[in-house]
């Protein structure tokens, strides 16, 4: 049974607007109560993560879907800044890389970051969406 003060959310950090729309539609179809936040570069996303949540009475556990290639601050820059955040902030987030890169060295490098739990290659399959939602549920336990 879900706890009332826990909110599930996904942060989409991706510079492709069409991919954002596709992700939002797919996730809200799977779970209409999910909170989604969209960021088109890593800088806006890291600023959001750094700021304290307004609803301090609620617990947040979030998944970040992170593209590696973006303008302003790419996924690698985001990951480097993220790992410098206080541990209690990092613990609120699980990061999944969503990249068009099939380069094994990118995958291996991404998975060296402790907050990165999976590396997905675009395009995402329905099973990938279900796995990400399941990860949100597991993060609440």
pLDDT tens for each residue of 37-83: 999 999 999 999 988 655 555 566 788 999 999 999 999 999 999 99
The CATH number corresponding to 6-140 among 3.40.50.300, 3.30.360.10, 3.40.50.2300, 3.30.43.10 equals: 3.40.50.2300
* DSSP track, 87-108: HHHHTTEEEEEEES---HHHHH
Residue-range domain boundaries for the chain = 6-140
Whole-number pLDDT of residue 129: 78
80-107 pLDDT tens trace: 999 999 998 898 899 999 999 999 999 9
Phi and psi, residue 105, nearest 5° = -65, -35
């Amino acid at each position: 049974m879900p706890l009332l003060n826990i909110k599930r959310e996904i942060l989409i950090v991706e510079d492709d607007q069409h991919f954002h729309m596709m992700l939002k539609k797919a996730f809200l179809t799977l779970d209409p109560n999910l909170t989604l936040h969209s960021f088109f570069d890593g800088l806006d996303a890291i600023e959001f993560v750094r700021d304290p949540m307004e609803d301090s009475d609620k617990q947040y556990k979030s998944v970040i879907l992170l593209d590696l290639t973006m303008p302003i601050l790419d996924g690698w820059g985001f990951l480097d800044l993220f790992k410098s955040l206080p541990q209690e902030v990092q613990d609120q987030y699980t990061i999944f890389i969503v990249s068009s890169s099939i380069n094994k060295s990118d995958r291996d490098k991404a998975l060296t970051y402790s907050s990165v739990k999976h590396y997905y290659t675009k395009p995402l399959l329905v099973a990938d969406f279900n796995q990400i939602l399941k990860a949100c549920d597991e993060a609440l336990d």
